[in-house]
Chains A and B, each alone.
Chain A
């Protein structure tokens, strides 16, 4: 049930911010500082999420097969692989390391 609440809250919130952009008179959100912050906010969130989902295990930090997988994804990004290849590399390497008992 609580998952449904989270889904509903996310859906409503995400829809409203999309709508606000289309409805708000131009200029209101165009202050440089606001723009800057809006561009940097996803950077902070994505960086934190990447790190946590790579090394987090509930309330502790671990290095396991996921780290190898995400490193493979980073390598794929360096090689400019398409998005799906990047994700596939992470999944395959993680599975491989686990299969080898990592």
Chain B
């Protein structure tokens, strides 16, 4: 399930017989919702194999690897944890990094709780499935019934497959022996890159990524394993702060207009950039997710950013 997000929002256009053009249908046949959900769930679920292999390669036992997929069930955090453990990091620092990556799920939950309108008793159960992909599918649905159906089918498919493929991957890695000889240590960073690419939309995101790369690599030789990543996370507030300063003038102007009943700190510019929750999920320019697979990988906008990200790494060397 890794947090790579399919782009289910484009799915409505994918089912020509069921929906017409880009007009949002008032309701959507259950079969169309299930098809969207299965497409995402199956494609992403299969990538649990990469996690199983990576985790086993990092030295975790079969039981530990499966426990992660069963209990944590949020891909980026799982990859981060086993990566940090493989690098010899302190377990708690490793867990902290994984935790911070999982924090965005709280914001998905916030959005989903309005859409799903679940009874209080069901929420603790539903919570486990609040991840990028279920959010992306749910947000793409036109009404509550479809939202619930999409969320449930995606969650169930993904949970079952992700755990099965994790098990297979871990077993496979044990059979293989030295996973590094097979290049499997490159699976982790490739997964992260695929998750990252579609997030790099504006200059702000790229600045954050660039600064985080510098901090992460620069501090690696200096700080104990695991800590550099946590320090690199500070790139996010740092860039926001710097940007806030550069916007001071604009804000000043808006404070003045506040008296007229304008909304204070939200300059239009600011507001336009707020992409809440589903930075990865609600994007959709492509037309092929369910069929061809998953992935963030398919956002066309990733192109220049990925290139840039890549060259940034080059420069850091």
Q: Which residues of A contact B (CB under 8 A)?
A: 2-7, 9-11, 13-15, 17-24, 26, 29-30, 32-33, 35-56, 58-61, 63, 65-66, 69-71, 73-74, 76-78, 80-87, 89-98
Q: Which residues B188-239 have CB closer than 8 A to chain A?
A: 188-197, 199-200, 204-205, 208-213, 215-217, 220-221, 225, 228-229, 232-237, 239
Comparing B26-34, B97-105, B249-257, the segment that makes contact with chain A is B97-105
What would be 16 A-B contacts, judged by CB atoms less than 8 Å apart?
A14-B73, A17-B109, A19-B124, A22-B113, A23-B113, A30-B110, A38-B106, A39-B104, A39-B276, A40-B204, A47-B235, A49-B216, A52-B217, A52-B228, A60-B220, A63-B317
Question: Which residues of B are found within 8 Å of A98, using beta-carbon distances?
Answer: 180-181, 183
CA distance A5 to B286 in the complex (A): 41
Q: Does B294 contact A (CB under 8 A)?
A: yes
> Is B248 engaged at the interface, CB distance under 8 Å to the other chain?
no
A74 to B286, CA, bound (A): 18
B10 within 8 A of A: no
Which residue, A51, A65, A92, has most C-beta atoms of chain B within 10 A? A51
Min CB distance B243 to A, Å, is 9
Cβ 8 A contact of A77, one of B128, B193, B271: B193
The winner among B99, B183, B216 for most chain A CB atoms within 10 A is: B183
Q: Give residues in B with beta carbon < 8 Å to A.
A: 2-4, 43-44, 46-47, 50, 60, 64, 67-68, 71-74, 76-81, 83, 85, 87-88, 91-92, 94-95, 97-114, 118, 123-124, 126-128, 130-131, 180-197, 199-200, 204-205, 208-213, 215-217, 220-221, 225, 228-229, 232-237, 239-240, 265-266, 270-271, 273-277, 279, 286, 292-300, 302-303, 306-307, 309-310, 313, 316-317
Which of A7, A23, A24, A41 is within 8 Å of B64, CB to CB? A7
Q: Give min CB distance, A25 to chain B, whole Å.
A: 9
Q: Are B190 and A87 in contact (CB under 8 A)?
A: yes
Dominant secondary structure of chain B at its interface with chain A: helix
* Cβ distance B124 to chain A, nearest Cβ, rounded Å: 6
Q: Which of B47, B97, B240 sits near A37, CB closer than 8 Å? A: B240
Contacts of A89 in B (CB 8 A): 190
Given known A22-B123, A45-B232, contact A86–B104 (CB-CB < 8 A): no
Question: Does B190 lie within 8 Å of A47, measured CB to CB?
Answer: no
Supposing A69-B190, A90-B187 touch, asked if A51 and B217 sit within 8 A by C-beta, the answer is yes
Known: A22-B112, A84-B50. 15 other contacts (CB 8 A): A10-B102, A11-B71, A15-B72, A18-B109, A30-B110, A37-B237, A37-B240, A44-B211, A45-B233, A50-B213, A51-B313, A58-B87, A58-B88, A84-B47, A97-B183
Contact (Cβ within 8 A) A45 B212? yes
Complex Cα gap A46–B60 (Å): 22
Known interface pairs A21-B110, A87-B190; A36-B274 also in contact (CB < 8 Å): yes
Considering the complex, give the chain A residue whose CB is closest to the CB of B294: A83
- The listed residue (B94, B200, B302) touching A43 by CB distance below 8 A is B200
